[in-house]
């Protein structure tokens, strides 16, 4: 009964405040779905893509002396700890390269709550890696020294100032600052969560990142395919504009590793103050001899794998306020009998949705995709993992891989389902491979069953067993589970308002300088009373019924107010 009284008080307050709202919110909610599929086709007045920025571009070239830190990046470790990573020394590329000695330069972070006053000091680890190609005409690479320091004892929701480097040389960075995320709680959430994928280093990438910075995120989800260093020969030169046309005559897929260093410098103005949580994509595989893969990715990024009980940097989880994030690896074993699946099941089982009501998952290749590119490519992964994620009530799934934007209606097993996740593809960061413009339902654009073979895992392409596309590999119109799609570069911003709804906005690059402009916007609404995950607090039937009714009423009354506040607080 106490809960009922609180609900009634909340309802009365919202009624009074709503009366004061001047304008109705024009923003739709998922409660109004499923929506009729809509498509905004590629604007022919725009260019589909651009070449990569050269390594001597001011945002890519090195601007510190030998042992001073560069490529500084933050990553969330826990609500009270943060990873700080950076690189020192000069990378080498050539026939014969000698790795630097990591022990020659210390890994140290000094930090505190006041500018210039660093009350705490933490030391960490350092490592180097090599990308070796024992083939005629190919060059080898060995990195600078990569440093990782985990600073702890932090207070949630607090600004900290820090310097990193080696004070004994001395070679310390300039002062940087960041704000910690809130503690896990159903009443506290990150201010704005930026979501972006398939970035690369083109002029389009610059527009994406500059636009993202304007939106002032408190954290970043990077859903794979970071640098596109594997679009290059080991000798550098000009990058290839498509994955399949790069080096068809090479004995192994080459990479130009200095692109990683350029990317770290390019991102530092953002990542030195805003934590970026990454997951691997296919462009991070970068094979070497003896089956070595992902060497650069695994060395350069610190992620909370150990903190989340994972034994692999390929998959992990973390909390940011009342949101639990699960980052899954599509290019390592995802079978139901494997280690990743077992870890995922345990992680989901331990969730307390009264503390972290929102459950957001991310991996690189999308399961639901109506573009010709990568169509049904990771169907095997979907068949292995989808039921488990649905069982535990995942709310939103972010992916990249397809270089365009698409938002799905709530869906499960290709059927519209009000309890299914909202799948969103944001592989539109601006990379050299250009924006995808063909849809699988366009005449003559349906891939053949032998196309779109994944770099990892099997092929599980299927013909649909029910619905309008029954018996077919592709639909002859935009699928009913595809709510909106557009071929354009951009990024997304997720603003979690409370335990039941969040505002999702997709910003197109061409709208960078337009006030209050966006490509797509919707309130994603959770309905825990109707779509109960396996782990939830127990309530009586009468209490649950009343709660559901009040929830619907409060939501309908409060949306105008929330829409007004969101429009006032959102930047371009």
Minimal CA–CA distance to 42: which of 483, 424, 508? 508
How far is CA 539 from each of CA 11, 116, 202, 528, 531, rounded to the nearest angstrom?
20, 51, 53, 12, 14
pLDDT score recorded for residue 347: 98
- Between CA 179 and CA 546 the distance in angstroms is 39
Q: What is the mean pLDDT of the chain?
A: 90
pLDDT (tens, 9 = 90+) of the chain, 572 residues, equals 555 455 445 434 543 443 333 235 699 999 999 999 999 999 988 889 999 999 999 999 999 998 999 999 999 999 999 999 999 999 999 999 999 999 999 999 999 999 999 999 999 999 999 999 999 999 999 999 999 999 999 999 999 999 999 999 999 999 999 999 999 999 999 999 999 999 999 999 999 999 999 999 999 999 999 999 999 999 998 888 887 777 777 788 999 999 999 999 999 999 999 999 999 999 999 999 889 999 999 999 999 999 999 989 999 999 999 999 999 999 999 999 999 999 999 999 999 999 999 999 999 999 999 999 999 999 999 999 999 999 999 999 999 999 999 999 999 999 999 999 999 999 999 999 999 999 999 999 999 978 999 999 999 999 999 888 999 999 999 999 999 999 999 999 999 999 999 999 999 999 876 666 789 999 999 999 999 764 333 333 333 333 333 344 444 444 444 444 344 344 44
- Domain boundaries of the chain, sorted by first residue: 1-28+545-572, 30-544
- Between CA 50 and CA 74 the distance in angstroms is 29
Alpha carbon 364 to its chain centroid, in Å, reads 8
pLDDT score recorded for residue 7: 45
Instruction: Count helices and strands (H / E) in the chain.
Output: 7, 28
Which SS3 state, helix, strand or coil, does residue 523 take?
strand
- Between CA 74 and CA 219 the distance in angstroms is 10
**Residues near 13 by beta carbon (within 8 Å), at least 6 away in sequence:** none
pLDDT score recorded for residue 453: 93
Alpha carbon 353 to its chain centroid, in Å, reads 22
Identify the residue whose tokens are 């924006």: 435
DSSP string covering 169-225: TTEEPPPEEEEPPPPS-TT---S-EEEE----SBHHHHHHHHHHHHT--SEEEE-S-
What's the CATH fold of domain 30-544?
Purple Acid Phosphatase; chain A, domain 2 (3.60.21)
For 371, phi and psi rounded to 5 degrees? -80, 155
Identify the residue whose tokens are 């994030």: 325
- Between CA 368 and CA 381 the distance in angstroms is 11
* pTM beyond cutoff 0.85: yes
Give the residue numbers marked as catalytic: 374
Q: What is the pLDDT of residues 46-84, one digit of tens each?
A: 889 999 999 999 999 999 998 999 999 999 999 999 999
CB 93 within 8 A of CB 234: yes
């Amino acid at each position: 009964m106490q809960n009922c009284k609180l609900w009634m008080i909340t309802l009365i307050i919202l009624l009074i405040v709503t009366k004061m709202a001047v304008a109705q919110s024009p923003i739709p909610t998922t409660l109004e779905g499923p929506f009729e599929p809509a498509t905004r086709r590629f604007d022919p007045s725009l260019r589909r893509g651009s070449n990569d920025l050269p390594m001597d571009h001011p945002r890519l070239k090195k601007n510190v002396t030998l042992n001073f830190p560069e490529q500084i990046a933050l990553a969330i470790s826990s609500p009270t700890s943060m990873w700080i990573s950076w690189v020192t020394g000069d990378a080498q590329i050539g026939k014969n390269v000698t790795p630097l000695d990591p022990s020659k330069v210390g890994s140290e972070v000094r930090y505190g709550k006041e500018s210039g006053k660093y009350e705490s000091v933490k030391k960490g680890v350092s490592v180097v890696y090599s990308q070796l190609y024992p083939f005629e005409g190919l060059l080898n690479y060995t990195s600078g020294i990569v440093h990782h320091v985990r600073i702890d004892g932090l207070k949630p929701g607090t600004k900290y100032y820090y310097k990193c480097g080696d004070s004994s040389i001395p070679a310390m960075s300039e002062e940087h600052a960041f704000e910690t995320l809130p503690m896990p709680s159903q009443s506290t959430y990150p201010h704005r969560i930026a979501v972006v994928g398939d970035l690369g280093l083109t002029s389009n990438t610059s527009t994406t990142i500059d636009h993202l910075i304007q939106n002032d995120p408190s954290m970043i989800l990077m859903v794979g395919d970071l640098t596109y260093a594997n679009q290059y020969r080991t000798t550098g030169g000009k990058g290839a504009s498509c994955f399949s046309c790069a080096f068809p005559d090479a004995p192994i897929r080459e990479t130009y590793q200095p692109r990683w260093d350029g990317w770290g410098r390019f991102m530092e103005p953002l990542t030195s103050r805003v934590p970026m949580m990454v997951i691997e994509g296919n462009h991070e595989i970068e094979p070497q001899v003896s089956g070595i893969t992902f060497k650069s990715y695994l060395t350069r990024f610190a992620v909370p794998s150990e903190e989340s009980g994972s034994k692999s940097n390929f998959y992990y989880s973390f909390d940011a306020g009342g949101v639990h994030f699960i980052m899954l690896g599509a290019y390592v074993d995802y079978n139901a009998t494997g280690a990743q699946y077992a870890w995922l099941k345990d992680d989901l089982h331990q969730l307390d949705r009264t503390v972290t009501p929102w459950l957001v998952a991310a991996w690189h290749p999308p399961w639901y995709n109506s573009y010709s590119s990568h169509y049904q490519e990771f169907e095997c992964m979907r068949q292995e993992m989808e039921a488990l994620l649905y069982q535990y009530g995942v709310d939103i799934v972010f992916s990249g891989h397809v270089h365009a934007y698409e938002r799905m209606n709530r869906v499960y097993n290709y059927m519209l389902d009000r309890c299914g996740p909202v799948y969103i593809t944001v592989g539109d960061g601006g990379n050299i491979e250009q924006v995808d413009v063909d849809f699988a339902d366009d005449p003559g654009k349906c891939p053949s069953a032998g196309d779109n073979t994944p770099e990892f895992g099997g092929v599980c392409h299927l013909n649909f067993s029910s619905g309008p596309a029954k018996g077919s590999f592709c639909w002859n119109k935009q699928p009913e589970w595809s709510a909106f799609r557009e071929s354009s570069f951009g990024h997304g911003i997720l603003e979690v308002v409370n335990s039941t709804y969040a505002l999702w906005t997709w910003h197109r690059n061409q709208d960078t300088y337009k006030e209050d402009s966006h490509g797509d916007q919707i309130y994603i609404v959770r309905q825990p009373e109707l779509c109960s995950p396996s782990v939830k607090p127990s309530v009586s039937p009468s209490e649950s019924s009343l709660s559901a009714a009040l929830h619907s009423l409060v939501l309908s009354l409060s949306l105008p107010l929330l829409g007004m506040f969101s429009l006032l607080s959102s930047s371009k």
